[in-house]
Amino acid sequence: METKSLSKSIIVAAALLLGLSLLGFFIFKGLKTFSDKDRVVAVKGLAEMNVKANSASISLNFSFSGDILPDVLKQTENKKNDIINYLKSVGYNEKDITINNIDVKDRQKYYETEWNDGKEVQVKIDRYTIRQSLSVQSKDLENTEDKASKIELDLISKDLTSTLNTDYSFPELNSIKPKLIAESTKNARIAGEQFANDSQAKLGKIKTASQGQISIAGQNYYDEEGSDINEKPSEPFIQKARVVSTIVFFLE
C-alpha cells in the first residue's frame, strides 16, 4: 500500500511540475510576443524604371484666314493635299497619315476695337479662320525628332510652312505597377535586414505597408510627385517611373 501511495505521489508531483513548466513557458512566450510588438523598424524602398514609348507620331498644323469662306476652304484643301503628296514622296504610306477635321471659326464681324496711343481704333480682321491638322505615324521612335525637323524644313522650302509637334504614347502605368512595387518591397526588405543586423535582431513579418504614388519624369512630362527624381531621361521617347514604398517590419 505504501509503495502504491508513493508512486501516486510521484506521478502527481511530476504532472504538477510539468504543468508549472508549461505555464511558465507560455507566460514567457506571451510576454515576449507582447514585447516584440513594440520592436519594429520602418524603412523605405525605392524602385525606378525607364519606360520606352510604344508609338510616336508627328502632327502638322496650319491655318488660313479670309473674308470669303469658299476661298479659304480651297486654300486649306490645296495645302493639305500638297503636304500629303510630299509625305508620300518621302516614304510615308497613306494608311499612316491621319487627316483630322478642320476647325472653322466665324467671327461674324470684320472689325475689332483696339487701343492705339490712348485712343480706340477700329482694326480690320478676317472674318473666317480655318485650321487644319494632319498626323503621321513614326515607326522609328528614336529618330522621330530628326524626321520631324527634316519634314519642317522641307515644307518651308516648298512654301508649305506648318507647325510641327511630336507625340509619344507610353504603356499604361498598370502594366508596370506590379514590377515597380515588387522591386520597392525587395529594396525595403534589404534596408530592414541591414538595420536588424546592426541591432543584433532578426527581421520579422510585415506589420504595415504603404505604397507611394507612382511618379513620372521625362522630357515632355514632369509631375509634382516626380520632382525629387534626380535624373530625368533626356530622350523624348523615354520616361522614368518611380515609386517609394514605406514598410514597417517586426523585429524579433
Q: How many CA atoms lie within 13 A of 240 on its CB side?
A: 19
The pLDDT of residue 156: 97
The pLDDT of residue 226: 46
Q: Which three cell numbers stand for residue 48?
A: 525606378
pTM for this structure?
Answer: 0.70
CA distances 179 to 144, 162, 242, Å, are 29, 42, 11
The pLDDT of residue 2: 52
The pLDDT of residue 199: 83
Per-position pLDDT tens, the chain of length 252: 555 555 555 665 555 555 555 445 444 454 444 445 568 888 999 999 999 999 999 999 999 999 999 999 999 999 999 999 999 999 999 999 999 999 999 988 787 777 777 788 888 889 999 999 999 999 899 999 999 999 999 999 999 999 999 999 999 888 999 999 999 999 999 998 988 898 888 998 888 888 878 888 887 765 545 445 567 788 999 999 999 999 999 998
The pLDDT of residue 233: 86
CA distances 112 to 108, 120, 122, Å, are 11, 10, 6
**32-58 per-residue burial string, b: 16 or more CB within 10 A, e: under 16:** eeeeeeeeebebebebbeebebeebbb
Residue 237 and residue 219 in contact, taking contact as beta carbons nearer than 8 Å: no
* Nearest of 138, 249, 135, 129 to residue 195 by alpha carbon: 249
* Nearest of 209, 194, 198, 200 to residue 249 by alpha carbon: 209
**CA 61/CA 162 separation, integer angstroms:** 5
Distance spanning both ends of the chain, measured CA to CA: 53
